[in-house]
Chain A
Amino acid sequence: MNVILLALGVLGVLGAVGSLVLYFVSKKFYVYEDPRVGQVEEVLPGANCGGCGFPGCHGMADACVKERDASNSLGSLLCPVGGSDCMAKVAGILGVEAGAAEPKLAVVRCNGNLECRPKLSNYDGVKSCAVAASTFAGETGCAFGCLGLGDCVRACTFDAIHMNAITGLPEVDEEKCVACGACAKACPKLVIEIRKKNAAKTPAVKRVWVSCINKDKGGVARKACASACIGCGKCEKTCKFEAITIANNLAYIDPEKCKACGMCVAECPTGAIHCTTAVQTIVEKLKAKKAADAAKAKEEAAKKAAEAAAAKAAEAAAKVAEAPAAPKADQPQ
């Protein structure tokens, strides 16, 4: 009995001393944190992906509060994962107006699948794009495109990017992608770009982009990959909105200026310009129209040629008719 009491007493005293120490330490070393930071962090997704540019959601919450105090708005801060809904909640907590957030997503800018970009050598090193990229130019003739070893897939914490075994290229799941940019950072070839999703404009997502980053001269690029951008400039001439620029033998479509009309997609001779299904239907129509126009033009040309031929024949016939007539006249009778 005594032993138990002794033990209880000792532990009780130790506990009391400990609690006193902790009390004074917590008072002495108290760090004030704005309570709003905690509240904002509550509504952030908690993925800690770093897509906003801050180290985790706590960093983002802190930045939001500081930005609000500094400029009375949220500035250009955006949580790519939560999107505008999440930022509206943050704005609500901080009592400011939420800016319209533009949804974005990751776009793979390489369409060199196994068929149009044949492998010329076999890499048997570590299955990592970073290691392969530092070792050599790539298994195909293209030194710019996707290496296909899946560093982007491993970097994605949202299960939004997967390798397609048939094409050997990564594919982005539009539903799941939150544009955190982890894949773009992981890609040693800088194939992945974070672009505007363009979901808000129309019910169907309309997006057009050049799915190639090969900066080699046209002939070299074409030799390495049948669907490479060869920098021919046809798209640039076709575009009515001056959205396309060509630099270093490569076209780039400015997502701010692009109206997703699909003209350039129909015009591209190598199929390097890609678009979403909504645009594809327009493109099909454009192509059909183009084909019809071409057929019509051909028909007309053929008609003209036939007419011209007929006229020529008639002329020749007339000449022939005339010709014998003349000697006839000269003929001695």
Chain B
Amino acid sequence: MKTFKLGGVHPAANKLSAKAPIEVAAVPAVVAIPMAQNLGAPSKAIVAKGDKVKVGTPIGEPGGFVSSFVHSSVSGTVDKVDVVEDPTGKKVPAVFIKVEGDEWLENIDRSKDIKREITLTKEEIIAKVKEMGIVGMGGATFPTQVKLMPPPTAKPQCVIINGVECEPYLTSDHALMLAHPEEICIGVQILEKAMGVNKAYIGIEANKPDAIQLLTETAKKGFPEIEIVPLKLKYPQGGEKQLINAVIGAEVPSGGLPIATGALVQNVGTAFAVYEAVQKNKPLIERIVTVTGKSVAKPSNFLARIGVPIQQLIEAAGGVPEDTGKIISGGPMMGKAMPDTNSYMVKGCSGILVMKNEEARRKEASPCIRCAKCVHACPMGLQPNFLAKFAEKDMLDKCEEERIYDCIECGSCSFSCPANRPLLDWIRQGKPKVMGILRARAAEAKAKAEAAKAAAAAK
């Protein structure tokens, strides 16, 4: 069985909610839809107090090139445009909507029938994906239409679909693959058409044999170009660069884009959202979210509307248990601990993990003993022990020399450290600083080149 070449760790899978069916979460009396739901520029609210909206009405427009549309997930009246806490406690603008009934826009196809035939052209698909506010559903929330428009130098060869779900505890992608295999495959074909390629792989880790079997059977029945690739368990296999390496063996060059290998990587959740957007005209207004944890009474997979209070989802899974140390938005490896449960469902929220006090607490760090476990664990071939130290001491030139910009922040180094050193915490400090320097340098070089060009033209 295939897997990626460099590094990796094996955290306990703890897929407690793997057998749980997808439950539809109740729609509350008021939802708050944050305007910062994608990587890049936040969206701008285009509704005001008192406006009537239906399910699917656009309420936010892109605030830049790397940005996306936001749609109302309920029908009702806009109560106010105010701020809410995001999962890290920071205030972000949001639209509050008082729910009245459940009226959907007329052009959304709500029937259960599966629509096989893809009638839209390449350009129309990309426009539709943008209009429907689709973002990467794996957690990074990168606007999908931007990814479907690679630089002209890129030569796309295949689409790789990420059904790995290597984060422990999370089962939302697994549940989705079991519930909608055919829709996912059609979504994959739409992505193929958008990229102009005729080959696709779906990578699934071996701890989901039912999903592998189901999707293999589905692919056999009418999707000959889709290949299901079972992968050996290893974290962070769901990382874009790791998945490309695991599935087609290619390596993304340091500092380069993944499309340089000819592969476009999308999450299964994104493939499903693309299917719904293109075939059913349905914007991204709901997603599957796992609410789980060892102390949670009923680990569940919910189909929740965007803007539902996180607190309500936890209540639905049995409430916050007595001995809770941390509540994490996302998985235990890359998720973020939430200071409170006052935030709301967003497009990128794949899971809510409740951790007991003892498992959540960080152990005290002791000095580095140079065992190089982090170096072996790093899937990008970096030296996290040095990077962390350089970043801590603000030695940015050394950080650059050691390729800090290649770090994917997977946390394998901190996980593997026997001295419990907070390696990733420090690397995360240095990385944006170095990236800033690199960007400034690139901008300077570009300006210089343009000035030289202008001077040459003037001559």
A interface residues (Cβ-Cβ under 8 A, vs B): 120-121, 124-126, 130-131, 134-139, 143, 216
Contacts and interface: CB of A to CB of B under 8 A. Distances in A.
A120 B340 contact: yes
Contacts of A216: 91
A131 B425 CA distance: 6
Given A121-B339, A216-B91, A137 B426 contact: no
B459 interface: no
A39 B422 CA distance: 47
B339 A137 contact: yes
Interface string B76-91: 0000000001001111
B428 A134 contact: yes
A124 B339 contact: no
B298 interface: no
Given A124-B361, A124-B362, A136 B337 contact: yes
B85 A134 contact: no
B403 interface: no
A130 B336 CA distance: 16
Nearest to A131: B425
A125 B362 contact: yes
B362 A137 contact: no
A126 B90 contact: no
A136 B422 contact: no
B426 A131 contact: yes
A126 B422 contact: yes
13 contacts: A120-B340, A121-B339, A121-B340, A126-B425, A126-B426, A131-B426, A135-B337, A135-B425, A136-B89, A136-B337, A137-B89, A137-B91, A138-B339
Contacts of A131: 422, 425-426, 428-429
Contact of B425 (A120, A121, A125, A143): A125
A136 B426 contact: no
A143 B422 contact: no
Given A125-B422, A126-B425, A131-B426, A136 B336 contact: yes
Contact of A138 (B89, B337, B361): B89
Interface residues of B, number: 16
A283 B422 CA distance: 48
A125 B339 CA distance: 13
A135 B89 CA distance: 10
Q: Which 5 A-B pairs have the closest CB atoms?
A: A137-B89, A121-B339, A136-B88, A137-B90, A126-B425
A130 B394 CA distance: 12
Given A124-B362, A135-B425, 8 more contacts: A120-B339, A121-B89, A125-B362, A125-B425, A126-B425, A137-B85, A143-B89, A143-B90
Contact of A137 (B88, B422, B425, B429): B88
A219 B409 CA distance: 37
Interface of B: 85, 88-91, 336-337, 339-340, 361-362, 422, 425-426, 428-429
A86 B337 CA distance: 50
Contacts of B91: 137, 143, 216
Contacts, number: 44
A216 B84 CA distance: 12
A137 B88 CA distance: 6
Contacts of B426: 126, 131
A120 B425 CA distance: 22
Contacts of B361: 124
B88, B339, B362, B426 — most chain A CB neighbours (10 Å): B339
Given A125-B362, A136-B88, A143-B91, A130 B340 contact: no
A216 to B, nearest CB: 7
A148 B347 CA distance: 33
B446 to A, nearest CB: 28
Contacts of A139: 339
A130 B90 contact: no
Contacts of B89: 121, 136-138, 143
B145 to A, nearest CB: 29
Nearest to B82: A217
B90 A136 contact: yes
A135 B336 contact: yes
B339 A136 contact: yes
A307 B266 CA distance: 83
A126 B425 CA distance: 7
Given A135-B88, A136-B89, A130 B339 contact: no
A130 B392 CA distance: 10
B422 A130 contact: no
Contacts of A125: 362, 422, 425
Nearest to A188: B429
B382 to A, nearest CB: 19
Contacts of B90: 136-137, 143
Contacts of A120: 339-340
A313 B244 CA distance: 94
Contacts of A136: 88-90, 336-337, 339
B429 to A, nearest CB: 6
A130 B422 CA distance: 14
Contacts of A121: 89, 339-340
A124 B422 CA distance: 11
Contacts of B422: 125-126, 131
A142 to B, nearest CB: 10
Contacts of B85: 137
A121 B425 CA distance: 19
A207 B115 CA distance: 72
B89, B91, B337, B428 — most chain A CB neighbours (10 Å): B89
A139 B337 CA distance: 12
A124, A125, A216 — most chain B CB neighbours (10 Å): A124
A183 to B, nearest CB: 15
A216 B90 CA distance: 11
A314 B339 CA distance: 65
A136 B335 CA distance: 12
Nearest to B363: A124
Contacts of A137: 85, 88-91, 339
Contacts of B428: 131, 134
A130 B427 CA distance: 12
B419 to A, nearest CB: 14
Nearest to B87: A136
Contacts of A134: 428-429
A130 B429 contact: yes
A120 B340 CA distance: 8
A134 B90 CA distance: 11
B36 to A, nearest CB: 14
B359 to A, nearest CB: 13
A294 to B, nearest CB: 37
A126 B361 CA distance: 12
A10 B90 CA distance: 74
A134 B433 CA distance: 12
Contacts of B339: 120-121, 136-139
A130 B340 CA distance: 21
A131 B337 CA distance: 14
Contacts of B429: 130-131, 134
A143 to B, nearest CB: 6
Nearest to A138: B89
